[in-house]
Chain A
Amino acid sequence: MRPDTHDTAARNSGAQASAALEVAVLVSVGRHPVTGRARRADQDARGVELALALSEARVTLLHAGSLDEESESAMRGYLGMGLPALTLVEQPPGADVVPALADTLSDAQPQLVIAGERAEQGEGSGMLPYLLAERLGWPLVSGLAAVEKVENGVATLLQALPRGQRRRLQVRLPAIVSVDAAAAAARQSAFGPARRGEIEVQPAAVEWDEAQAEWSVAPARKRPKRLKIVKAASARDRFKAAAAKAEGAGGQVLTDVTPEQGAEAILKLLKEEGVLR
């Protein structure tokens, strides 16, 4: 979470171990939900932020796609976060980027690969980190909120769970992690560094994604709201279902009990539900 809180001894040993901590962040071209313009994808930008927060890490940005005006502006958005260069693995639209990315990663051998959860364009299935992990044989941790520390080839991670909960995990490197929306928000992209940053184009073999051509894609329709179907036999039940207040199914009521007995019953329920820690 806060890399600057390491004591000096840990930092020194960390310097030896993590001087070579290579972090690759996979970034994609996002799409603004309202205007539809290309932008830096929100979750990928959070991933870059996560990498920049790591102490003594060498961060490289990796994008697979084509270089045109729109995607360049999005990539410069990432460069504007304070990185000198971005590697572009050149792939035409409609190509399967997983083989090219897997080849690039197995050549570069980064210790940690950070990716967003899913793309904001195209299929957006969120399969990419899983496919890469399966191909490279690396462990994968999804839904990351923070990287606490990296020591001796083991990373301690904080995973975001639903309902604002967190879980601490340890994973052996090299590993692939995907970033949750609960991770720290990305810093603003600055214009100057974005202009100065270099985009290094790297050619790669192309494999076409053939299945995608058979799909028909349309703007998302609003999903029909589920109707409340009341299967009641009598008119009274139907009326009650439509008009009455919500009632539990006959809860237990404890009257004339001492506070201790009442508290005990509540404690039993809390234990059953597993909300006490």
Chain B
Amino acid sequence: MSEIIRRDPRKEWIARNRLHPDHLSVLAELGEGSSAATEWMGPNGVVRRNPHAVGFIGPNGIKRIDRSGVQQGGHAATGTAEAKDSRRQVTIDDPAFLVAVVPDLPGGRLSSHDRDLLGLARQLADADGERPGAVLAVIFGSTNGEGFSEAGIDRLIALDGDDFDGYAPEARLAALAAVDGEFSPRHWLLPDSKLGGAELGRRLAARLRERPATGVWQLERDDACALGWRCTARGAAGTTDIQRTLPRIVLALAECAEPVSETRHAVQALALSQSLPPLLGRIDDLGQVAVDPAGVALAEAEFILSAGNGVKEWEGFHQAAKVLGATEGASRVAVDDGYMPRDRQVGATGTWVTARVYVAVGISGAIQHLQGIQSCEKVVAINLDPGCDMIKRADLAVIGDSASILASLVEMVQRLREERRDAA
């Protein structure tokens, strides 16, 4: 009964007639409560649009249409909220098998390599729609768990403790072997990266006596193979492609698969039933060595303090870089003016940097410079001009005089170090 579309010709007529006194109220009625209906279901089941109701009257009496949905008030706000929540929630209660992933988690966050790897794991887990597998992530060290659900993790084993801190491949290997013994996942996926995944994966393969595939970058289904997959891996220091059946342990390169983007997953915590036996470590980690930040290549520096036209006190800037232990960078203007050497220039014509933290002091942010810092994770801007492009890019922007801010930052860091030394 209710499925039959009943039309009210009079109301439709009023909705078409913009000059009718009841026009707006009828439009609102047809549009189910929104102030002015822009879309409604017509009598034949065809969606009708009212182009006149789109947009709003601007301050000068001219009609404006803003498709970003920012300025249209309540209606638009619900629209963006919907866009955020549109990812499908997936819960796998009874997985047919497990795909174990050990992400690198540099700095406690999933790297893009980790996300690609999780995308690959999802590909393996979801291949059979009837009997899906679950992606099990094994992580070491503390993390805030941000973005795990969106990255496609169903089950999570978080191993936290002093044993796993620093360089502890033996303890980590023992934990992974315990996970393998208890959950026996069908696949083990690790990133083939210098951050530790390459080493841990090879150790695991040697321990489990499996022959791993290293440098995997492509995967395709092949039912003739044991696990139902065939992979393409780089061999001979990246000069050959090896087509082989997919083994149980896979070390995959970056961009091996598309990261998960359309679903969110239940990050359900699992734990090992038995605590790990104490391990006699034969390798002692004596901690990181202070390296001269000026000796680190700009392209691979982790922490860059970069100066631009706004820096007037260069001694203070160099002193700040020294105290903070940051590698120095510069914008083109600072280099052209002769304050910094040419090899320190950041940007399209200089070096493309990949720092985790990039502090831009007195740099307004020319497009060439912003291109150079595209892959930086956190950008801090210190500038006098609140409207410049660098402020828009920055995760943290401080408006003020750069010399005094740097001076007080240096003072704070020195005080912090002294406190630490007194405590120790």
> Which A residues are within 8 Å of any B CB, using their own CB?
31, 33, 118-127, 130-131, 133-134, 139-143, 156, 158-159, 161-172, 175, 211, 214-221, 223, 226, 229, 231, 233-237, 245-248, 251-260, 262-267, 269-270, 273-277
A167 contacts across to B, CB distance below 8 A: 166-167, 285-289
Shortest Cβ gap from B197 to chain A (Å)? 11
CB < 8 Å: which of A163, A168, A226, A267 contacts B286? A168
- Hey, what's the 0/1 contact readout for B356-395 against A, CB within 8 Å counting as 1? 1101000000010011001001111010001001011111
Residue B199 at the chain A interface, CB threshold 8 Å: yes
Contact between B300 and A252 (Cβ–Cβ < 8 Å)?
A: no
Shortest Cβ gap from B198 to chain A (Å)? 7
Q: How far, in angstroms, from A223 to B291 measured CA to CA in the complex? A: 35
B397 contacts across to A, CB distance below 8 A: 251-254
Q: A120-B237, A248-B395, A262-B400 are in contact. Are A161 and B288 (CB under 8 A)?
A: yes
CB < 8 Å: which of B207, B283, B374, B399 contacts A254? B399
CB < 8 Å: which of A159, A163, A171, A255 contacts B282? A171
Shortest Cβ gap from A36 to chain B (Å)? 9
Contact between B408 and A255 (Cβ–Cβ < 8 Å)?
A: no
CB < 8 Å: which of A120, A172, A219, A247 contacts B393? A247
- CB contacts under 8 Å to A, within B263-291, are 282-291
- CB contacts under 8 Å to A, within B215-236, are 215, 217, 234-236
Q: A216-B243, A263-B405 are in contact. Are A126 and B413 (CB under 8 A)?
A: no
CB < 8 Å: which of A124, A164, A219 contacts B295? A164
Q: How far, in angstroms, from A254 to B382 measured CA to CA in the complex? A: 10
Interface residues on B, range: 35 or more
Contact between B400 and A257 (Cβ–Cβ < 8 Å)?
A: yes
Q: How far, in angstroms, from A142 to B202 measured CA to CA in the complex? A: 11
A170 contacts across to B, CB distance below 8 A: 283-284, 286
Contact between A245 and B290 (Cβ–Cβ < 8 Å)?
A: no
Q: How far, in angstroms, from A171 to B243 measured CA to CA in the complex? A: 38
CB < 8 Å: which of A33, A143, A171, A277 contacts B290? A277
16 additional contacts, CB 8 Å, given A159-B167, A262-B408?
Answer: A123-B214, A125-B235, A130-B206, A140-B203, A143-B199, A156-B286, A168-B288, A211-B244, A219-B241, A229-B258, A234-B67, A253-B386, A259-B400, A259-B407, A269-B378, A275-B357
Contact between B261 and A231 (Cβ–Cβ < 8 Å)?
A: yes
CB < 8 Å: which of B199, B287, B302, B396 contacts A275? B302
Contact between B408 and A260 (Cβ–Cβ < 8 Å)?
A: yes
Q: Specify the main secondary structure of chain B where it touches its partner.
A: mixed
Q: How far, in angstroms, from A216 to B243 measured CA to CA in the complex? A: 5
> Of residues B244, B295, B367, which shows the largest number of chain A Cβ atoms within 10 Å of its Cβ?
B244
Contact between B206 and A165 (Cβ–Cβ < 8 Å)?
A: no
Residue B348 at the chain A interface, CB threshold 8 Å: no
Chosen A-B contacts, 21 in total, with CB atoms closer than 8 Å, are: A124-B236, A124-B237, A127-B211, A139-B170, A141-B283, A143-B194, A143-B199, A215-B243, A217-B243, A218-B243, A219-B241, A229-B258, A247-B393, A251-B397, A253-B397, A255-B386, A262-B398, A269-B378, A275-B356, A275-B357, A277-B325
Q: Look across to chain B and name the residue whose beta carbon is closest to the beta carbon of A225.
A: B255
Q: A130-B206, A142-B199 are in contact. Are A220 and B288 (CB under 8 A)?
A: no
Contact between B243 and A120 (Cβ–Cβ < 8 Å)?
A: no
Q: Specify the main secondary structure of chain A where it touches its partner.
A: mixed
B367 contacts across to A, CB distance below 8 A: 245
B213 contacts across to A, CB distance below 8 A: 125
Q: How far, in angstroms, from A221 to B217 measured CA to CA in the complex? A: 11
Shortest Cβ gap from A223 to chain B (Å)? 6
B391 contacts across to A, CB distance below 8 A: 251, 253
B371 contacts across to A, CB distance below 8 A: 246
Shortest Cβ gap from A116 to chain B (Å)? 10
Q: How far, in angstroms, from A123 to B242 measured CA to CA in the complex? A: 8
Q: How far, in angstroms, from A143 to B352 measured CA to CA in the complex? A: 25
Closest CB pairs A-B (n = 8): A262-B398, A164-B296, A236-B67, A263-B409, A259-B404, A134-B206, A139-B282, A263-B408
Contact between B107 and A274 (Cβ–Cβ < 8 Å)?
A: yes
Contact between A130 and B205 (Cβ–Cβ < 8 Å)?
A: yes
Q: How far, in angstroms, from A211 to B248 measured CA to CA in the complex? A: 14
Q: How far, in angstroms, from A220 to B242 measured CA to CA in the complex? A: 8
CB < 8 Å: which of A246, A255, A266 contacts B359? A266
A263 contacts across to B, CB distance below 8 A: 398, 405-406, 408-409, 411-412
Contact between A269 and B302 (Cβ–Cβ < 8 Å)?
A: no
Q: How far, in angstroms, from A163 to B290 measured CA to CA in the complex? A: 13
Shortest Cβ gap from A180 to chain B (Å)? 8
Q: Look across to chain A and name the residue whose beta carbon is closest to the beta carbon of B303.
A: A275
Contact between A219 and B289 (Cβ–Cβ < 8 Å)?
A: no
Contact between A127 and B405 (Cβ–Cβ < 8 Å)?
A: no
Q: How far, in angstroms, from A248 to B258 measured CA to CA in the complex? A: 22
Contact between A122 and B236 (Cβ–Cβ < 8 Å)?
A: yes
A223 contacts across to B, CB distance below 8 A: 217, 255
Q: How far, in angstroms, from A140 to B241 measured CA to CA in the complex? A: 28
Q: How far, in angstroms, from A265 to B393 measured CA to CA in the complex? A: 17
Q: How far, in angstroms, from A215 to B389 measured CA to CA in the complex? A: 52
Residue B103 at the chain A interface, CB threshold 8 Å: no
Contact between A237 and B68 (Cβ–Cβ < 8 Å)?
A: yes
B237 contacts across to A, CB distance below 8 A: 31, 33, 118-120, 124
- Hey, what's the 0/1 contact readout for B311-324 against A, CB within 8 Å counting as 1? 00000000000001
Contact between A234 and B69 (Cβ–Cβ < 8 Å)?
A: yes
Residue B73 at the chain A interface, CB threshold 8 Å: no
B242 contacts across to A, CB distance below 8 A: 123, 215-217
- CB contacts under 8 Å to A, within B309-352, are 324-326
Q: Look across to chain B and name the residue whose beta carbon is closest to the beta carbon of A158.
A: B289
Contact between A245 and B370 (Cβ–Cβ < 8 Å)?
A: yes
Shortest Cβ gap from A119 to chain B (Å)? 7
Contact between A163 and B240 (Cβ–Cβ < 8 Å)?
A: no
Q: A247-B393, A275-B302 are in contact. Are A266 and B67 (CB under 8 A)?
A: no
B152 contacts across to A, CB distance below 8 A: none
Residue B62 at the chain A interface, CB threshold 8 Å: no
